[in-house]
Amino acid sequence: MSSNHALTRVPAAHLSHAVSSRSQTPAATYPSEPLPFPSRVLNATAQSRASSRVLHRFNQTLQVRQWHLPRKSQLCLGTDLRLGSKRRRSLSHGVSKARSGAARSSLDYDALKGVQVLEAASGQPVELLSLWAAKPGVRVVIPFMTHFADLSSWEFAQKLAKKLPELQANGVRIVAVGLGSPDNARRFAETVGFPLQLLYADPTGACYRALNFSPGFAPEAGVSPYLKLLPMLMGIGSPGTIQEVARGYFGDRGSKPVFEGSTPFDILGKGYQRPMELATLRLFNMFGILQKWGEMSPPETRLLTQQGGSIVFDGEDVVFKHVDSGILKYTDVDALVAAALQETLTVTSG
């Protein structure tokens, strides 16, 4: 036999020991119950034969769980267990925000430098970042609402207005921005009951472009924005809208009641958002919007599809950020307030 193919003798004792050891190695098993993170990852690494199956289950599970990081750089994804919210967040969007937001959270502050808004009360232009002192420990909540005739803005402002005393009592500043003219903003404040002195108008969407908020469905298409709204209402280019509409009709046991005090919805129970409760509020709001559409809709119609978000700054650092994914997917007000009053970094997508 050629030297290139020479065989090496292996002692029989060694060979039998190897065979015996191999036969005693337990087969990789897949747990019948989900493992808690990070045990699920460690298990997948140790059990190479089941790794693909475990990782697949892990990827599915992670999208509905919360991933905790150290206290001052905490990233909340999926279900927010502290607030009892059952709303799902976008995993891929949240992770990408975490990489840029947690490490370099001042990027959003830098992006807003030089951007102006108009005071709702006077119509005077003012640089947005000049409205508060950007010092460590000084917190400011900035909701970037959609246009003033949008159902999302109405719902969000109605909820936030109830939380303003708590925020202000804790020294948190509020600077609310909406899309449209100062006239639109004044009519909005009067109708919804939001403090005019806290409201600012962005007539061109400059803040929203600076922060890369979603422009909505088919922003480059040369068709009327009114036509673009139709597919967005069906969830096209507006992720989560259909589910949010359904939640209004079918209720949500993980959310608070919409109406306070005794209501006819009490026959369905108390302490949660009852079926049709949120849908009823939206119907009332829609009647109000349609009656004053001409007074509150933005003169620049391309802003009809522009989506918003919310940011909480501590000095120049971001401690909370939410990016609207579509119509009715505005910031969870309870999460916003909790983040403004805690030392956490929270990045969410609605």
Structural domain boundaries of the chain? 30-62, 71-349
pLDDT reported for residue 342: 86
User: How many whole angstroms separate alpha carbon 238 and alpha carbon 215?
Assistant: 10
Is 296 in contact with 184 (CB distance < 8 Å)?
Answer: yes
What is the reported pLDDT for 222? 83
The pLDDT of residue 338: 96
pLDDT at position 221 is: 85
CA–CA gap between residue 15 and residue 103 (Å, rounded)? 54
Residue whose structure tokens are 């298409």? 221
Beta-bridge mates of residue 3: none
Among 324, 119, 312, smallest CA distance to 202 is for 119
Q: What is the pLDDT of residue 345?
A: 56
Classify the phi-psi angles of 163: left when phi > 0, otherwise alpha if psi is within -120 to 50, otherwise beta.
alpha
Could you tell me the pTM of the whole model? 0.70
Burial of 161 by CB count in 10 Å (0-12 exposed, 13-18 middle, 19+ buried)? middle
Closest CA to 293 of 198, 223, 229, 204: 229
> CA 153 to CA 81: how far, in whole Å?
26
Model pLDDT, residue 102: 42
CATH number corresponding to 71-349: 3.40.30.10
**Residues 187/148, Cβ–Cβ less than 8 Å:** yes
Give, rounded to a whole angstrom, the gap between the first and last alpha carbons of the chain: 71
Q: What is the mean pLDDT of each run of 10 residues along the chain (350 residues)?
A: 44 44 42 38 39 44 38 33 37 37 70 98 98 95 98 98 97 98 98 98 98 92 89 91 95 93 92 95 96 97 97 96 96 96 66
